[in-house]
């Protein structure tokens, strides 16, 4: 079951500006833990088991500095029109940074994070269960982003005025625009077979 948790131990949802980054984060409360081989044969490897990728593109250095500061690593990236999305893991959390080529005009870099789920309940979306977090409307009215964080898979639904087709995937990520209204870009990180199953369920591809 996918669930949105509004408040958790320590810092739950922080909305503010930190070095030009708009932060929307739902944090987990566990140890840093090392990579694990898998959750189950059907789930695929844990997100924490994927290797860090080399970062490039607009905002890459800023994201690299922030992720390293928090003890995390970026495991995948993709482009959506003028913005680039960086998908990361950090301890018992996963999340995404969305960087803009015009930070002064577009509000800077957006970060959305969520903790890994602490149960094994069923979920209608493959790769679950998931915890979720969403950008508040006040962050940027022209941009909407919803993150679903599972132990072996994460996916992001991204919507902006640009409605651009996802391109340039790097790492274990697949993406497509949804075939149903509202039209959104859907990005999925995890094992390839699960990525395709999630795209079919969420994007209707």
DSSP string, 106-159: HTSEEEEEEEPPSS----SSTT---EEEE--TTT-TTEEEEEEE-SS-EEEEEE
d(CA 41, CA 56): 33
d(CA 119, CA 127): 13
Q: What is the DSSP letter of 53?
A: P
The structure's pTM equals 0.77
d(CA 85, CA 165): 13
pLDDT at 34: 34
pLDDT at 105: 54
Give the bridge partners for 176, in sequence order. Answer: 186
d(CA 33, CA 41): 21
pLDDT at 110: 85
pLDDT at 136: 62
Q: What is the DSSP letter of 61?
A: H
Q: Could you tell me the two tokens for 26?
A: 């739902």
Domain residue ranges in the chain: 3-28+47-203
The helix or strand, by DSSP H or E, that contains position 202, with its residue range, turns out to be: none
pLDDT at 46: 93
pLDDT at 2: 54
Per-residue pLDDT of the chain (205 residues; tens, 9 = 90+): 555 443 222 222 233 333 333 333 333 333 223 333 334 445 578 999 999 999 887 778 888 888 888 889 999 999 988 888 999 999 999 999 998 766 555 556 788 999 999 877 778 899 999 999 988 644 455 678 899 999 999 999 998 776 778 899 999 999 999 887 777 899 999 999 999 999 999 998 7
Give the bridge partners for 148, in sequence order. Answer: 132, 155
pLDDT at 64: 86
């Amino acid at each position: 079951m996918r669930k949105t948790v509004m408040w958790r131990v320590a810092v739950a949802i922080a909305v503010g500006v930190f070095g030009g980054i708009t932060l929307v984060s739902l944090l987990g409360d566990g140890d840093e833990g090392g990579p694990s081989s898998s959750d189950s044969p059907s789930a695929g490897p844990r997100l924490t088991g994927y290797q860090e990728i080399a970062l490039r593109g607009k905002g890459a250095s800023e994201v690299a500095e922030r992720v390293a500061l928090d003890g995390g690593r970026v495991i995948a990236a993709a482009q959506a029109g003028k913005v680039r999305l960086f998908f990361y893991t950090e301890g018992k959390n996963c999340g995404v940074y969305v960087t803009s080529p015009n930070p002064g005009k577009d509000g800077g870099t957006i970060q959305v994070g969520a903790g890994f789920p602490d149960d094994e309940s069923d979920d209608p979306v493959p790769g679950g269960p998931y915890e979720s977090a969403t950008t508040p409307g006040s962050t940027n009215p022209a941009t909407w982003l919803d993150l679903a964080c599972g132990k072996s898979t994460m996916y992001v639904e991204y919507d902006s005025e640009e409605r651009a087709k996802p391109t340039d995937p790097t790492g274990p990520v697949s993406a497509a625009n949804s075939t149903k209204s509202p039209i959104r870009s859907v990005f999925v990180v995890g094992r390839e077979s699960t990525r395709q199953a999630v795209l079919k369920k969420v994007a209707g591809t």
